[in-house]
Structure 1
């Protein structure tokens, strides 16, 4: 940048003395800088005579390019400052559809109130997809189950969510609106469930196996929100974390806390160990932690 400014100043003032005074440097230092640029480029930028310095055609072309470069550099510096100050840029969050639907809208609104030019991208997926997004750097951070994570990831606990049996109102248990349901009472019921390889399904199946029975799954869906819609339609009963449940009053369903055993999942922020987090991503994580619960490093 120094060399570019030197050539541009000499082109504007047409005098080594005047250009040196403008740049607050000595005339010999300015002359050395111009000669060094000419030597590197292999062209003569200025024709010198005893009375005046005249710019050559090559010099005029170089100055035009130099002006564009310096202008682009100033824009880049300004852009970097805006990114550092969280006024421009993008953050990517990977989480469950339920969290994206129920919890994130208010958080994103709060976040963008002071950062209107920030772009927030939310990727929705299953636990394995959230973990993969964070591991590969596709997402700045994730929000998911933190009970079991690979060693390369770390977590900040947000909240513990108990599991509920979600029952159609047309079912006798739903009609009675019981506050609690034992897992054993569901052993012969038609269940709507996420896939067998998901963490939630393994947790439920493990509890049933420990109690000496197996559960009967009738419908398997990819998203937890789809479980609720199938339950509402009377297809069967679902077992879901509290965070997936719609806001009350519930329509067409009843949710009873699962007991004997009581099961829960731990939801938290997921980041990659040692990976740099932008100020914008760090601020969003702090907002989520403050709104949802105190974060404890695990």
Structure 2
């Protein structure tokens, strides 16, 4: 239908028609609607003028629907019902109780601190569908740039144009080893030089985590050559537990149960860290559920502005 043929009628005017049809009297309908009788009369005339047809037959004692009115009434009822349902639906979305959120995050985020935060947030919002898309740093940025994800959780240094960063804190890296490893018995922090001769497990060369670690080693005049390369963080930790080698990972990625069966070894000064935070498209306003989840991550991220975390 062309827009110029859409009747210019308000929900209040439709309600006036329905109420008058139910009550059969201008006096009773005006009382039900809590309006004056002249105001009700004007509303009914406005609807009839717009439609170009009389909807009611007026007598001295009773108001009855015309044939046109009987045909119009079910449509008016359906329109008001759908408007009411839409209003409730939008209200629920605004209250974060309905909708969908797509979060793209670097892999270690989903292994460490993130699960507990997401579990609490989703438990309070059973009507919200949450999709978590794990990947390397570049994959997270691509998802946000393409609009496929509402926002990302990743490293926030040196982002490409069109993306906005909101730091949550610092991602401090540690070494992880099986409990029986010789380095696990040392009380002092582990230097990168001590890891140069170890069997190391790492992510692929295109991973931002690997590039960060190799850049730190290069700055220290070292070359780290991983013996095993994996694409999943959980696989890396399982291999470390099995004694296949050591790995360098963000600290909160092995916090809590994620670090069970591992010796977590702090790195000697100057250490290794990068900023981690939320990434969004510039100019994009997040939906209420997405904004709510972003707020929950701000509030619940460990260490606040001095955090320790991820990939």
Length-normalised TM-score, structure 1 = 0.82
Q: Give the root-mean-square deviation of aligned CA atoms.
A: 3.1
Shift of 1:128: 1.8
| C-alpha contact 1:20 1:30 (8 A) present in aligned 2 | no
| C-alpha contact 2:105 2:140 (8 A) present in aligned 1 | yes
Shift of 1:108: 3.1
Unaligned runs of 5+ in 2: 1-10, 307-311
| C-alpha contact 2:112 2:258 (8 A) present in aligned 1 | no
2:110 counterpart of 1:100: yes
2:121 counterpart of 1:111: yes
Unaligned runs of 5+ in 1: none
Shift of 1:64: 1.0
Bigger drift between 206-215 and 71-80 goes to 206-215
Structure 2 counterpart of 1:65, from 66, 75, 99: 75
1:133 counterpart SS class: helix
User: Are residues 172 and 6 of structure 1, via their aligned partners in 2, closer, same or farther at CA, if it must alter by over 3 Å?
Assistant: same
2:304 counterpart SS class: coil
Shift of 1:75: 1.6
| C-alpha contact 2:196 2:223 (8 A) present in aligned 1 | yes
Whole-angstrom CA distance in 2 between matches of 1:129 and 1:77: 37
Match of 2:268 in 1: 259
Whole-angstrom CA distance in 2 between matches of 1:154 and 1:31: 53
User: Are residues 167 and 295 of structure 1, via their aligned partners in 2, closer, same or farther at CA, if it must alter by over 3 Å?
Assistant: closer
Shift of 1:73: 0.8
User: Are residues 32 and 249 of structure 1, via their aligned partners in 2, closer, same or farther at CA, if it must alter by over 3 Å?
Assistant: closer
The count of aligned residue pairs is 292
| C-alpha contact 1:127 1:198 (8 A) present in aligned 2 | yes
| C-alpha contact 2:111 2:254 (8 A) present in aligned 1 | no
Shift of 1:280: 3.3
Match of 1:90 in 2: 100
Match of 1:195 in 2: 204
Match of 1:273 in 2: 282
| C-alpha contact 1:127 1:145 (8 A) present in aligned 2 | yes
2:162 counterpart of 1:149: no
2:256 counterpart SS class: coil
1:137 counterpart SS class: coil
2:130 counterpart of 1:120: yes
Match of 2:168 in 1: 158
